[in-house]
Each structure stands twice: as C-alpha cells, then as structure tokens.
Structure 1
Amino acid sequence: MLYELALPGLLAQGGYRWLRAVRRSAPQEPALRLRTARSRLRRLEIDLLDRLSPTLAARLLLRRFHQNQSETPTPIPTNRDQQLITASDAFHCSGIYVRQFGPTNGPRVLLVHGWNADGRMMLPLAQDLADRGFRVDVPDLPGTGKSRGPVRSFVAVARRLKTMCPQDQPYEVLVGHSAGGLMAMIALGLGFKARRLVTLSAPSSLDRLMELYLRFTGQPAKTGAALMRRYAKTCGRELAEIGPAECRKTTLPMLVIHAQHDWQVPPAEAQRICAARDGITPIYLRNCNHRSVLHHPELLGLMERFFHETSNAGSR
C-alpha cells in the first residue's frame, strides 16, 4: 500500500531529471536509443523502489539479472560464424540445446559460456578445437539461446548442466569462460564428471561475481546488500564459499587463464582461484580483454599442451 501511494510522487520527482538526461545523451540509432531508454527506465524504477523497500528492489533486480540471459542480443554473424552454425550437429539434452563439433572419437570437451551470452560466443573456439581433433560440445545454458526454462540461480544452472553428462562418460576437459568458469566449478562440486578444468577470465566466487555486477551497474547500496542476502538464501549457501569450496575439494588438474587487461572480471580473480589450491599458478594473456581472450593466438596452444601434459602424467 505504501508503495502504491508513494510511487506516483517519486515518479514525478525523478521523471523530469530522467527525460533531460535522455535528451542529452541518447544515441542516434533508433535501436540503441530504445535500448538506452529502456535501461534508464529500469534504473529509475530500481532507484525509486530503493527509497521505499530495498528488499523489493533486490527481488526485482535479481529477477532481471537472470532474465538478461534470455534477452541476449543476437550477434551479427561473420561468414565464419555462419558456417559454424550451419555445419555443426545439434540436439537437445535434458532441455539444453547442444551444438557439436569435431570427430566423434576425439577427446570430449565441454565449453561453457558466461552470463548475458549464449553458446554462439564459443563457436570459433569450438571449431578451432575440433580442427585439432577434439569432440566439442557447446550448450546454450538454461534460459539462453535455444534452451528454455526459468533460471533462479547459477547453482541451479550448474545442477542442470550436470544432467548433460552420463556418469560413465566423463568429459576430458571442462572449459568455462567468465561466469561459465564459475558454473563449471559449481557443477564439479555437484558431481559433474570431467577429468580436467580450464577457466578463462572467470570470477573466483559467486560473491565476487555479484559484487562486480552491482558495482559496474551502479546499483544503490541498500538494494545491493539486500540482493546479496536474498541470493545467498536462494543458493542455500554463503556466496563467498561458492567457488572456493569447489576448488578446494576437487583434485582435477586445473588451468587458470585470464586476460591481463580484463576490466570486467579483474585479473586478480585468477589469483584468488589459484589460492584455493596448492601448486596452481595463473597464466595471463596480454593484449586481450574479457571477450577477446577467447580468440587469443596463444590460447589453443596452452589448452592443447595442458591436455597432453596431464594425459602423460596420468599414464605414468
């Protein structure tokens, strides 16, 4: 009731300032202008709710955080991207859409994309690995791309990911980019079967991922604190332990790679991941950022060397 009474006045108070800001800074392209206006309206709504009830604001913000997965903009494909999409095999497994690349008898690799993306982001890397003899699966995680289903938390997504892997057919390499690296760690903790783990510019914990999201989107402090409490309750664990606990528990060989100039997930996150396990040192790739690390010329060689070195170690 209080919200319904106060909202019109708060809208009137903030609406004029918002309109002035839109007129000053809106981009010229109609599609970009619409996206910018929508973003500003959403931010205004959170700011207004924050004054009345940070708990309600946190609930709305968390729902939007996971809805972004299903609203990922369609990329403009290059000729190579288009060839990858049309040439790959694809199927649904436990409601998850999976693209496949490479020889059927090759070592099996699973590539896990991050937040606000879908499997298409990983296709060039998948094809490069397939060209080197690997059998590569690239899923659209639940709520993204061609995979449907509600998303309540990254823990729930990791649980769905676990259903993709038969217990008697482990993946040789599990690779996760950005939040996908964190979800890969969580899935391993839930019993996902893999023999190696590679993280690419991944956050060290769910707590750190959400802190980075709140900071980069400039959310109000009270709403941010309420969101962290609510998300911990949804996940059933302290957010700071989701990620590090899985790293401490697993005995799999790990390769931690990070873009040296990553501004979305700071390079220090790689050190935090390695701190949970003895004998692991991060590798930093120069002249790339959070997304372009997937196309770095040294990446394939590092991953292939890691696979062969750990294979030889296991055979001795």
Structure 2
Amino acid sequence: MLLYSLCYPLMWLATLVQYNYYRVLVKFKRRPSLLLKVRIKPETHYIRLCRALRLADLWLLERCSLHLAARYLLHLFETTRYISYKQMDHEYLAGFRQETVCFQHQNVYVFRWVPPPAGAPAKTVLLVHGWEGRGIMFRPLCEALKAQGYGVVMPDLLAHGLSEGKRVSNYELASLLIRLGQRYGPFCAVVGHSSGGLVCSLALAQGLAAERLVLLASPDNFGKMIDRFLAGASVSASLAAPMKAIYAQRFGFHPDQVGEALYRMLDCPALICHDWHDVRVHPEVADEIHRAFARSDVFYTRGLGHLGILRSPQVHQRILSFLSDAGVGTERQIPPLIQHSIIPDDADPPRYGPIPVASKRA
C-alpha cells in the first residue's frame, strides 16, 4: 500500500473536521452561509500534501522498478477530475435527446439534436470535447450548427461529465468514437477540441466514418503530451520510455506515432483552428499539423485562448464555411505561419508559461 493511500483516510477526516468547523462559524454568523456550499475534499484542500505524497510514492517505486513507476504514472495520467454540471447546463440539455451507450460495461451519456424533417436527411456533426471537458462546452457552436440545419451528436466521453468511469485512455476514447459512429453515423464532420482532436484523428485512422475533420486547439502528438505531463509534474524524463512502451503493448500504437504519421494517413479534408495566445497548446503546433495533412486549411485567431476558441462567432462561421464549401482543402497549402493569422505583422509573440499539472493534457 502506498503512502498516499495510507494517508488519504486521515486527510479525509481532517477535511470533515474542517467542514464541521465551518458549520459552527456559519451558525454563529461568523462566516457567510455560502461557505457551506464549497465541497471540501483532500485533493483540493490539501493540494501540496497530496502532491508531496504522490511524488514520494513515485520516488519509492522508481527505486524498486521503472515499470512499476511507469504504471503508477499512467494511473495518474489517465484519471480524470469530476466537474459537475450547473443547473443552467441541465436546463439547456433538456432540449436534447439524452441517450446512453454502453461501452466497456459503463454508460456513456450522449446528447443529440435531430432537426425537424425537411426533405433530405440532415447532416450530422460529432462534437468531441477534450480532456476533463464536457459536451456542454460546445454549446455556442452547437447553436450555430442547429441554426444551419445540422444534426448534432454531443457525448460526454467516458470518465467525463455525466458519463460513468474515473479513468480512461485516449486510445479507449477513440474506440468509443467508433462505437458512436456505428450507432449515429456516418458523420458529415467530426469536431475535436484540444486532446479531443487527437482522439478524433486516431478514430478516423481506425475506421470512423466522417467526411471532414475540424481540430480546435489540438495538440500534434500524443507522445509529446506524455513528455509535457512528466515535465509539469517534475518527474524524471527517464520514465517516458516505459510509459510509452506500456501504451504500445496495450493498444498496438506507440504514442509517438499518434501524431504526424497519423495525420498523413488521413485523406479527409481538415480545418485546423488555433488561437495565437493559447498557452496550453502552442500555436506553432497548428502549422505542423497543417503540413502533415494532404488537404487542410489553417485558421488563426488572437486573444481567445485555449477555451475561448469554442465561443468565438468568428470560428463558428469559419467552421460552417468549411462544412459547406465543396472545394476546400483540395490543394496542399503551406504558406508562412503568420500569413494565416489575423494578427498584425508587428504584433509581439505570446509568452508561454509551464504546463500546469492540473492541465496535464490539453
């Protein structure tokens, strides 16, 4: 049993005492009642202690076996944080068809919008959120698609949102998308945000039926995501190789191959959208992805950030144009990076900080 597991019950008791102390303060009107709405958990209340215990566990495992340490890191890497829905989110999703798909003996929630019948069957778009995201994040884009008569399939991926599970890999998420394609496809396009774009690309390479691909602030390589996770967690880079080897053995794909080599396998037209001030996934990545595709367009914005790109009407309009333009991406275009951007030529490049541990995956 590891140190973190041994200490967790004690930390849980400490948080329980802390919460009861808050109740006393609220009862005697020494603190506002809003304080009791905050859910106290060891993972959030004792962040530094939890991090120190996990690093100590990793140090001990690394001294015993690199393989054991790599498996422990994979467990952390694949474990998601639960992010609850707000009441307004539930009210919005009430207007969708809410269905469940059983995948690996766990229920995955899928939200569908089917437009009213109007002659020809409506084209359907699959919206795939990123790591520790939720389908509701696509609400602005979903409204734009609905206004143009598109059908929408918007899942909460396994171990995310309302879906069951606490741990999942990107390879398993790709298999989930293939399952959704068998049930709801074929799709006229798949839209992936952040690591969801990488998952979409992997699913397309494995047989997901879709005519087009849209990548929003997506990373270029799964192996590099593992490297950034290790760097952000202040862990020795020597553990990257055994972690990747475990993935290759489990799924038959080496993480370093889920990148440029993967994009070259795809023959569908692709639209790559990225914000120049994205500090989670550097904007230069978009140009590297663009160079790997046989048919692709790249579209840059400024000042939106990693999540703001989901809410931009400018990006929504570009996506709608891409879906309706029959001739897009028919020629390979690799102009200089700045010529695709809406940023002035004299603009200063953004400064990037380290990838935070909480954002281990884009």
TM range (shorter): 0.7 to 0.9
Q: Kindly provide the CA deviation profile for residues 162-204 of structure 1, in whole angstroms up to 9, marking residues without a partner as x.
A: 0111389410110001110000001101110011100011111
Alignment-derived partner of residue 269 in structure 1: 285
Which residue of 2 is the match for residue 156 of structure 1? 172
Q: Classify 1:39/1:101 alpha carbon distance in 2 versus 1 (closer, same or farther; 3 Å).
A: farther
Tell me, yes or no, if structure 1 residue 43 matches structure 2 residue 45: no
Q: Given the superposition, is the C-alpha separation of residues 235 and 311 from structure 1 closer, same or farther in structure 2, using an over 3 Å criterion?
A: same
Match of 2:209 in 1: 193
What letter corresponds to residue 41 of structure 1 in structure 2? L
CA RMSD in angstroms comes to 2.9
Paired with 1:33 and 1:277, the residues of 2 have a C-alpha distance of: 45
Change (3 A) 1:281 1:103: closer
In structure 1, which of residues 64, 76, 89 is the aligned counterpart of residue 97 of structure 2?
89
Quote how far apart the aligned CAs of 1:312 are.
8.8
Closer, same or farther: CA 129–112 of 1 in aligned 2, 3 Å: same
Partner of 1:101: 113
Q: Distance in 1 between matches of 2:253 and 2:329?
A: 35
Code of the residue aligned with 1:72 in structure 2: it is Y
Q: In the comparison of the two structures, how many residue pairs are matched?
A: 287
1:183 corresponding residue in structure 2: 199
**Residues 88-237 of structure 1: matches in 2 within 5 Å?**
88-95=96-103, 96-101=108-113, 103-104=115-116, 105-148=121-164, 153-166=169-182, 169-237=185-253
Residue aligning to 2:299: 283
Aligned to 1:73: 83
1:75-100 Cα shifts (integer Å, max 9, x gaps): 5x374x34322222210134431012
The TM-score normalised by the length of structure 2 is 0.70
Residue pair 2:267, 2:295 contacting (<8 A) in 1 also: no
Contact kept, 8 Å, 1:261 with 1:287, in 2: the verdict is yes
Structure 1 equivalent of residue 18 of structure 2 = none
Q: Is the 8 A contact 2:175 2:203 kept in 1?
A: yes
SS at match of 1:203: coil
Q: Judging changes above 3 Å, is the alpha-carbon distance between structure 1 residues 150 and 193 closer, same or farther for their aligned structure 2 residues?
A: farther
Unaligned runs of 5+ in 2: 7-34, 331-362
Q: 2:134 & 2:54 partners in 1: Cα distance? A: 23
Aligned partner (choices 57, 62, 73) of residue 69 of structure 2: 57
Rounded Cα–Cα distance in structure 2 between residues aligned with 1:168 and 1:228: 32
Structure 1 residue 282 displacement after superposition: 2.2
Partner of 2:347: none
Question: 1:36-69 deviations in whole A, cap 9, x for unaligned?
Answer: 543443233223433433321210110122122x
**What CA distance in whole angstroms lies between the structure 1 residues aligned with 2:186 and 2:209?**
5
One-letter identity of the residue aligned with 2:55: R
| Structure 2 equivalent of residue 15 of structure 1 | none
What SS is found at the alignment partner of 1:306? helix
Q: Is the 8 A contact 2:194 2:219 kept in 1?
A: yes
Describe the shift of the 1:254–1:149 C-alpha distance in structure 2 as closer, same or farther (beyond 3 A): same
Greater CA drift, 247-256 or 88-97: 88-97
Query: Counterpart of 2:210 in structure 1: which amino acid?
Result: A
Contact 2:191 2:214 in 1 (8 A): yes
1: CA distance, partners of 2:243 / 2:313: 39
Secondary structure of the 1:257 match is strand
Partner Cα distance (1:166, 1:311) in 2: 27
Q: TM-score, normalised by structure 1?
A: 0.80
Q: 1:299 & 1:130 partners in 2: Cα distance?
A: 15
- Residue 130 of structure 1, CA deviation: 1.8
| Structure 1: gaps (5+ residues) | 12-27
CA distance in 2, matches of 1:313, 1:222: 40
Percent identity, please.
Answer: 29
Report Cα offsets for 1:8-28 as digits up to 9, x if no partner. Answer: 8xx9xxxxxxxxxxxxxxxx9
Indicate the residue corresponding to 2:20 in structure 1.
none
Q: Distance in 1 between matches of 2:170 and 2:328?
A: 34
Q: Counterpart of 2:182 in 1: which secondary structure? A: coil
Q: Is the 8 A contact 2:131 2:194 kept in 1?
A: yes
Question: For the pair shown, which has the larger CA radius of gyration, 1 or 2?
Answer: 2
Specify the SS of the correspondent of 1:125: helix
Equivalence for 2:343: none
